[in-house]
Amino acid sequence: MTSTGPTNPSRLIYQRYLQLTIRHKWWIILAFIAGTSLSILYSYSLPLLYRSSTVILVEPQKIPIAYVSPTVTSTVQERLSTISQQILSRTNLEKIILQFGLYKEEEKGIGRLLTILNGQIKSWANVDLETFFTSPTLKRPGADVPLEALVERMRRNIEVKVTGGGNAFTVSYTGKDPLTVMRVTNTLASLFIEENLKLREQQAEGTSEFLEQQLAEAKRQLERQEQALKEFKEKQMGALPGQMDVNLRTLDRLQLELQNTDEALRTAEERKISLVRFQQELRNIDEALKSLDSVSESTLQGGGLGRSSPHLSQLKEELSRLQLVFNDNYPDIISLKRQIQEYEQGLNTAETPKESEGNVLPPTAQHESSGNQQAYLYSAELLSLNSEIESLKRRRERTTEQIKLYEKRVDDTFPNEQTLANLTRDYETSQRYYQGLLDKRLHAKIAENLEKRQKGEQFRIIDPANLPQQPYQPDRRKIMLLGSLFSLALGVGAILLKEHLTPSFRTPEDVYGAVALPVLASIPYSQLMRKKEGSPVTVQEPDSFIAEQYRVLYTKLSQSAKGKLQTAFAISSAMQEEGKTITALNLAVVAARDFGKKTLLVEGDFKNPAISTYLQLHPQCDFVDILSSHADPQSGMLPYGHDNLSIVPVLKSIKNSSGILNSKEMQDFLTICRERYDFILIDSPPILSLPDMNILEKLVDGILLVVRAEKTPQDAVVKAIDSVVTDKLVGIVLNGVQQPRSRYYRYAYGSA
């Protein structure tokens, strides 16, 4: 016996899915046959459709763009989208449908089909469908198909596709009649050309109209800003930024003028004060002269005259004071000099001989004559000074007011500068905007004339619609191929869905990750195991791979004892039809024949006994009789297959199985059997369907759980394990495993 190492895990997965497909191959075959048949029937039931196409070239503008810029700047794709929406509108398509009488054959076909169907039904069931469709609430199919439905179908039959990098596009139409298809395609191409010209002209006119409106609005805005600028300049005249230098120079001039006026006013007021003082002094001089005359008369009378006079000293002092202020041409200085001279002459005259006294006027008389004249001059000059002072004051007030005015203008210049800058900026912006609109309107008018004269971009048919010779649809080969592939995918998908919805254990590796119990043996699937009657595979093929797996099972079961005395084992499963009876039979044969163990196989499933049926046993008494009549156990034990193997079957199903299993007779039976046999196997009932295993688990030393690969749900196995309250579960026997074609699971046996 030789063995080889494990294969690649990915290969095992591949083999696993391959075996899954092979095992359910009939599902896939039936799905493939059904899908292929339906696709063939469907492909031949479809009507023949023809397609005609025309190629339309997008010609560029005839006049260079450098001379005339077009106002229609949208791309071909954008315009085609807009034009397609217009051409494929309900109104246009209804006209084409009515013009060419499209889709009339559908109404006729439906009506003809209804007539044939009506005849068949009338002959079979004596029911007239014509009477049914004459109801006012029902209409005969095909008699009046809604026009909206025909329009929608025609939209689906029309295809517009851009080609040549956007320089051309194709228009295609699909229908049943080749000649009609060609005519409809040519009509659609003509509509595209007409709609393109109309659309470009409308866009050009719309652009011109829009610019006209914007230009009028811009003009009104410009006029409003111009008027606001004008009103501001008029209102702030003199305080504008451009007048700042003039205002400053004028303000300097007014300041100088005010300074001169103040100086002249101060000089006039000082002269006025001097004149008033001189007038007072003149009056004092008159009084002094008058006193001098009186003194002179007394002196003459007294015969003596003084050499000097105090009054003369006063006059000289006054002359000296005036000379410090005024020049010699000043009238008061001239007058004082004359008075002093006259006064001195008067003193000299007084000393002359008395003979001449009668010929000289007295000094008082002479002074009175010049004093009157001087007083008149002073009064006239004082009046002139008062008038001059008043004039200077008025001039000063006017100058002051003008200074305040120009100072206010200078102060207002700075805020006015910002306001004027804002107004000017808005005005210039509006002016540029207005000028730009003027240029654009001119260009738009030229572009509009370009479109109206059809010198712009145009559509031109370069490949007229052809008369189709071969049908465009249906592509029967493609339909059948797709149908076959879809049916295969559907079959495989159904298998995978079934595996996903009802997960089960397929290989020992699946068990390791789901439960904590070890897999003691993996029994491959065999046709012999499907027989309801006969002998186990270990009897028919003792050297087979399956028989070897049962030997492995017994070996691991013996090793699991670990020195403990374990004789009785219950073989159970989560549900029925998992192969626990076959497993018990084969394990019993291997233990008795190959390992020399005195083995007893007991039927423990009283409600569904299977050993006697499978082996065709007909004993005089069965296990129930032994327990109920207290008979000798040896009387119900039948030898099978080997001298070391005995079987205690149950012939008929009973209802009170729990009572028998829980009886004292059952315990006594197992006690006696433990003394006589080395290895006891009890074919036990399923764990989930009956409570019998809760009783049996107390009577046996260990429990083997049989799981049918790819059949028993995983959750059922988990529930069965959880239902066993003791720790007597030894392991799992995975039954009916689809053996992969791998050397990992095979051994080579040579003939002896």
DSSP structure string for 676-726: H-SEEEEEPPPTTT-SHHHHHTTTSSEEEEEEETTTSBHHHHHHHHHH--S
b/e per residue, 164-203, with b = 16+ CB within 10 A? Answer: eeeebbbbbbbbeebebbbbbbbbbbebbeebbbebbbeb
Q: Is the pLDDT of residue 279 over 50?
A: yes
| Band of residue 238 on the pLDDT scale cut at 50, 70, 90 | confident
- Dihedral sign, CA of 192, 195, 201, 203? negative
In this predicted structure, the answer to whether residue 701 has a pLDDT above a threshold of 90 is no
Across the range 367-377, mean pLDDT stands at 61
Helices (H) and strands (E) in the chain, counts: 23, 12
Is the separation of the CB atoms in 698 and 570 below 8 Å?
no
Does residue 149 surpass a pLDDT of 50? yes
pLDDT given at position 746: 47
CA distances from 533 to 160, 610, 611, 617, 706 (A): 73, 10, 9, 11, 20
CA 312, 316, 317, 321 torsion-angle sign: positive
So what's the pLDDT on residue 183? 93
Taking only the tens place, the pLDDT of each residue in 490-506 is: 888 877 776 666 667 77
CA 657 to chain centre: 70
Q: What is the DSSP string of 335-389?
A: HHHHHHHHHHHHHHHTTS-GGGGGGS--HHHHHHHHHHHHHHHHHHHHHHHHHHH
pLDDT for 135 beyond 90: no
The CA distance from 319 to 315, in Å, is: 6
Q: Mean pLDDT of all residues in the chain? A: 78
CA 204 – CA 44 distance, rounded (Å): 53
Cα–Cα distance for residue pair 252/259, rounded to 1 Å: 11
Lowest mean pLDDT among 67-71, 186-190, 201-205, 240-244: 67-71
The token pair that represents 198 in the structure block: 């109309």
* Domains within the chain, CATH numbers bracketed: 504-745 (3.40.50.300)
3-state secondary structure 585-623: HHHHHHHHHCCCCCEEEEECCCCCCCHHHHHCCCCCCCH
Of 171-185, 359-373, 637-651, the range with the lowest mean pLDDT is 359-373
101/87 Cα distance (integer angstroms): 18
pLDDT tops 70 at residue 618: yes
CB 348 within 8 A of CB 379: no
Residue 359: which pLDDT band, with cuts at 50, 70 and 90? very low
